[in-house]
Amino acid sequence: MTAPLIVLVGPMGVGKSTVGALLAQRLRCAFWDTDDVIVAAEGRSVADIFTEEGEERFRALEKDAVATALAEHDGVLALGGGAVLDAGTRRLLAAHPAVVHLSMGVEEAVGRAGLATARPLLAGDPRERWQELAEARTPLYAEVARVVVATDGRTPEEVADAVLDAA
């Protein structure tokens, strides 16, 4: 059976996709991002899926995409920030030996360019929305991850180094 070498979880804007791509380069393996898998399969953006069919539909697509990726992909896998909301997904992740939680504080999050771009759940007041989501989800990331790597004040390269040291 195949399984990803490293699975990245964590909040929106923490750099899962950037760091995941760097890790894949360093490990010379493939990189998968479940948001990209969903967008490619659906032929429309995450924002369009939310607008046209709602969050529930997106979560159903996400649950299937994560289960397939965990079963079929090797290499590095990055999950959308809300993938851990599903209890079945959390069980699958908890059984995986290299789930890494990339963390950051709210100040770092709002300081990152483009945080609210194309992220429907941050519409309105991105700082407040980001913080609410972080409060609800941090325990869920903790439930599934073997290690936490803080990204505050670190470049993606430094975060990738820290993940390789920790994973």
Which residue positions form the known binding site? 13-18, 35, 59, 81, 119, 137, 154
Q: How many residues belong to the site for ligand S3P (CB under 6 A)? A: 10
Nearer of residues 77 and 121 to ligand S3P, judged by Cβ: 121
> 1: Cβ–Cβ under 8 A, 6 or more apart, which residues?
71
Strand runs (DSSP E) across 43-97, as ranges? Answer: 76-78
Of 98 and 104, nearer to ligand S3P (C-beta) is 104
**Interactions with ligand S3P, residue window 57-86 (CB under 6 A):** 80-82
CB-CB contact of 12 with 123 (8 Å): no
Sign of the four-CA dihedral 34, 24, 98, 81: negative
Residue 121 sits in the site that holds ligand S3P (CB under 6 A): yes
Q: How far is the CB of 11 from ligand S3P (least distance, A)?
A: 7
Cα separation of 3 and 72, whole Å? 6
Question: Residue 59 Cβ, how far from ligand S3P at the closest point, in Å?
Answer: 8
For ligand S3P, which residue of 4, 16, 22, 109 counts as binding (CB under 6 A)? 16
Tokens, residue 32: 């998968």
Are 65 and 7 in contact by the 8 Å Cβ rule? The answer is no
Q: Interface residues with ligand S3P (CB under 6 A)?
A: 12, 16, 35, 46, 80-82, 119-121
